[in-house]
Amino acid sequence: MKFRPLHDRVVVRRLDSEEKTKGGIIIPDTAKEKPQEGEVVAVGPGARDDNGKIVAPDVKVGDRVLFGKWSGTEVKIDGQDLLIMKESDIMGVIESTAQSRKAA
């Protein structure tokens, strides 16, 4: 991808939601909600604080994140549907259980 976000912007690719319920019922495309989980594809250098210094973002490329339903601006880059949002629109980073076991 040849796109570099500016300031504290983050480019996120939505992750596909589950197509079946726990009971095995298949959900049609028209009834699915937009997923609120995604993978960070690109990150800007960071926002400037009151003193003019750049504050590095907390997320990095490859992080799985949660964001609000209506967060970001939908764009199509290189045939991919992506979201561009401010870092503040991201609610949190999802850490896998394998990573948390290594940290413990």
Do residues 83 and 75 make contact, with C-beta atoms less than 8 angstroms apart?
A: yes
Q: What is the CATH number of domain 9-103?
A: 2.30.33.40
Give residue limits of the domains in the chain. Answer: 9-103
Per-residue pLDDT of the chain (104 residues; tens, 9 = 90+): 678 889 989 999 988 765 655 666 666 655 555 668 899 999 999 988 899 899 999 999 999 999 988 888 999 988 888 999 999 999 999 887 655 555 55
pLDDT tens figures, 14-33: 887 656 556 666 666 555 55
With H, G, I as helix, E, B as strand and everything else as coil, classify residue 58.
coil
Which pTM does this prediction carry?
Answer: 0.72
- d(Cα 92, Cα 69) in Å, to the nearest integer? 14
